[in-house]
Amino acid sequence: MHESTRDSIARLLAPALGLPESEVTELVELPRERGRGDYALPCFPLARRLRKPPQAIAAELAESLAPAVAADPLVARLEASGPYLNIHLDPATFARRVLARVAQAGERFGESERGAGQRVVIDFSSPNIAKRFHIGHLRSTVIGAALVRIHRALGYEVIGVNHLGDWGTQFGHLISAWELWGEPERLEGEDPIGYLQQLYVRHNKAAKEDPSYADRARAAFRRLEEGDPEARALWSRMREISLAEFDRIYRLLGVEFDEIAGESFYEDKMAHALALCEQRGIARESEGALIIDFAEHGVEGLQPMLLRRSDGATLYATRDLAAGIYRFETYDPAKIIYVIGAPQRLHLQQLFAALGLLGFPAERCHHVAFGHVLGMSTREGTAILLDEVLGRAIELAEQRIREGDVRVPEDRIEETARAVGVGAVVFADLRHRPIKDIAFDWDRLVRFEGETGPYLQYTHARLRAILDRVAEEHGERPGETEADPGRLVTDEERAVLMHLEQYPRAIERAARELEPSVVSAHLLDLAAAFSTFYHKHHVKNAPPELRRARLELVEAVRRVLAHGLGLLGIEALERM
């Protein structure tokens, strides 16, 4: 594998600094302003260690390394500028190296084995059965699936878990409601989940007015817990119906899970969790209930966590505690990532604190909290039908395609519209940090220009078209001609190369910060740099040697776009 520019620079600088190369690699950064070289080494972080002012460090490095630089093909010149050491590269060598790296890695440029041997559990999507998929579940699905792919690209062993909401006292209400009012044929109808949700709401309301319904619900849930065949069969049926419905969405988004271990999976594991709490003396009775009072164990500022109600019922939190313990004990993961809306922050703080008190490495647990989707309420409240989002985006995409925003042959319109509509929604979600609320601006969402998913899909298709045209006219294909990327030395080309070079780091940063938006931002920057280049320079009509070199550049950009879109869960379209 060719080494990265950063590593080459670190190898040159490290001996003079007396530091390990790996440490120097992390110090090297992109310059703050244009015209200050291609990379820079800020010397402040070194001042204390080397007991010298940063200005002096920069000046001495520039001087003492001059002979090494003269012999180095990549670094053309070092220049001290105040506390910075500016690093100027030889543009031709830089271009050759970058494109050689991309060519060598093939379609997998950007991936690595950094995470090899480490497991990551990602808890995402996790809708509730017998209830509609919520817009929040869409966000969790999209963000979680991106984090799964990003970690896999870095060699982590990822276990993507759908922590389905399929257990709890609410199923007592549902079972009782079914027994009282259930109409079997409605489960075969249009919207079985909507029907179940109605039944639940009706029973729940009745229980508020008449305690006998509440008793029925409790008794029904007890039967379910005790394994009563009828209650179980009914519950299974509801679960299957719900999963089939959720699967439509997962298929549309191209999302899969390694485990569908919902809350019911932990039914027989809660006893172990509660026993562990007792053993460590972290839980105690309070008015008949079982709680963890964090203040008693030196954890300040957290409300007590309820593990068992006075009527003996366990809770969502009890199952999450059992799940956390199970995950640590089964997988010994390097990270457990919970992709859950920001309103559940307190719940997760309690969960992580409880796991910590039990002696598990709770610092490995992360809550990727996401914000709301604004302006999306319907008569169902914020629980909008998913079809209203993805379906609407797909419709809009088809409309724009038919209006001629892009050209797609009639027989491919439907499939293209699906990819564009889904891509638009997914990108809008991953464009910004998860914690920010998002507003789906329907007018701008599905556009082939601006900072949208469809714009990137369109750019990818355009790059493909450039390659096709050169192949038709000149019979040249990337990787198959004698091309010297050393010719790619204009500012615009160097800017594109810089973005290519930085792509693997963007993936690493996205994983480290649990921010898929690092990848989306990088792709937008790359597309913008390419567009600036393409505006100013020819590819197909350039002189032959330059054309061949540029062909390699176009292909490298195309590969990175395709790969990055893939990480986000967006189809890179071949033609538009």
The site string for ligand ARG over 335-354 (x = CB under 6 A, - otherwise) reads: ---x-x--------------
Beta carbon of residue 127, minimum distance to ligand ARG (angstroms, whole number): 6
Binding to ligand ARG, residues 146-205 (CB under 6 A): 163, 165
Spatial separation of the C-alpha atoms in residues 78 and 68, rounded to whole Å = 11
Least distance in angstroms from the C-beta of 421 to ligand ARG: 25
List CB contacts of 233: < 8 A, sequence separation 6 or more: none
What is the distance between the alpha carbons of residues 326 and 330, in angstroms, rounded to a whole number?
6
Cα-based distances in Å from 510 to 77, 122, 336, 371:
32, 15, 16, 18
User: Interacting stretch for ligand ARG, rule CB under 6 A, among 11-19, 119-127, 536-544, 547-555?
Assistant: 119-127
Assigned token pair, 345: 């922050």
Distances (CA, A) of 529 to 103, 276, 500, 536, 557: 20, 56, 10, 11, 10
Residues 123-142 that bind ligand ARG (CB under 6 A): 123, 126-128
| Cβ proximity to ligand ARG, 123 vs 405, nearer residue | 123
Q: Check if the beta carbon of residue 370 is closer than 8 Å to that of residue 342.
A: yes
Nearest residue to ligand ARG by CB is 165
C-beta of 72 vs 320, nearer to ligand ARG = 320
320 binds ligand ARG (CB under 6 A): yes
Residues 324 and 361: beta-carbon distance below 8 Å: no
Question: Half-sphere exposure of residue 469, counting CA atoms within 13 Å on the CB side?
Answer: 13
Q: Min. distance of Cβ 384 from ligand ARG in angstroms? A: 14
Of 413, 421, 430, 415, whose CA–CA distance to 387 is shortest?
A: 421
Q: Which of 322, 338, 160 is nearest to 257 (CA)?
A: 160
Tell me how far, at minimum, the Cβ of 559 lies from ligand ARG, in Å.
35
**Six token digits for residue 48:** 């204390």
Angle between helices 453-474 and 413-430 (to 10 degrees): 130
Which among 383, 382, 374, 380 has a CA at the least distance from the CA of 133?
Answer: 383
Cβ closest to ligand ARG, residue 99 vs residue 337: 337
Backbone angles phi, psi at 384, to 5 degrees: -80, 155
Residue 274 beta carbon to ligand ARG: minimum distance, rounded to whole angstroms: 18
Question: Smallest distance from the beta carbon of 131 to ligand ARG, in angstroms?
Answer: 8
Tell me which DSSP letter residue 33 carries: S
CB of 37 to ligand ARG, least distance (A): 47
Distance CA 43, CA 285 (A): 58
Nearer to ligand ARG, 126 or 452 (CB): 126
Question: For residues 364 and 494, which CB has a smaller minimum distance to ligand ARG in the complex?
Answer: 364
Least CB distance to ligand ARG at residue 134 (A): 7
Give me the 277-316 binding string for ligand ARG, x by CB under 6 A, dash otherwise.
----------------------------------------
Closest to 555 in 3D by CA, of 454, 453, 466, 495: 466
Query: Which residues form the catalytic set?
Result: 131, 134, 137
* Orientation of helix 453-474 relative to helix 544-568, angle to 10°: 150
Indicate the residue among 5 and 128 with the shorter CB distance to ligand ARG. 128
Tokens read off for 242:
């719900």
| Closest to ligand ARG by CB, 352 or 458 | 352
Give the range of 122-130, 237-245, 403-411, 424-432 binding ligand ARG by CB under 6 A.
Answer: 122-130
| Polymer length in residues for the chain | 576
CB of 362 to ligand ARG, least distance (A): 14
Please tell me the distance from the alpha carbon of residue 439 to that of residue 450, in angstroms, as a whole number: 16
Which amino acid type is present at position 399?
Q
Q: By CB under 6 A, how many residues form the interface with ligand ARG?
A: 10
Closest to ligand ARG by CB, 94 vs 352, is 352
Stretch touching ligand ARG by CB under 6 A, among 104-112, 121-129, 143-151, 416-424:
121-129
Q: Which x/- pattern, by CB under 6 A, does the window 37-66 give for ligand ARG?
A: ------------------------------
Residue with Cβ nearer ligand ARG (123 or 225): 123
CA distance 370 to 60: 48
* SS3 (DSSP) at 341: strand
Give the integer Cα–Cα distance in Å for 480 and 211: 78
CB of 261 to ligand ARG, least distance (A): 10
Nearest to 128 by CA among 266, 254, 239: 239
- β-pair type (39-42, 84-89): antiparallel
Stretch that binds ligand ARG, among 89-97, 120-128, 151-159, 463-471 (CB under 6 A): 120-128
Question: What is the radius of gyration, based on Cα positions, of the chain?
Answer: 28
Pick between residue 266 and residue 534 the one whose CB is nearest to ligand ARG. 266
Question: Do the strands 75-81 and 84-89 form a parallel or antiparallel pair, or are they unpaired?
Answer: antiparallel
Query: What does each C-alpha distance from 289 to 81, 225, 305 come to in angstroms?
Result: 66, 19, 11
Helices (H), 265-313: 270-279
Nearest C-alpha neighbor of 463 from the set 575, 554, 563, 351: 554
Shortest spacing between CB 222 and ligand ARG, in angstroms: 22
Our CB check for ligand ARG shows the closer of 352 and 455 to be 352
Positions in the binding site for ligand ARG (CB under 6 A): 123, 126-128, 163, 165, 320, 323, 338, 340
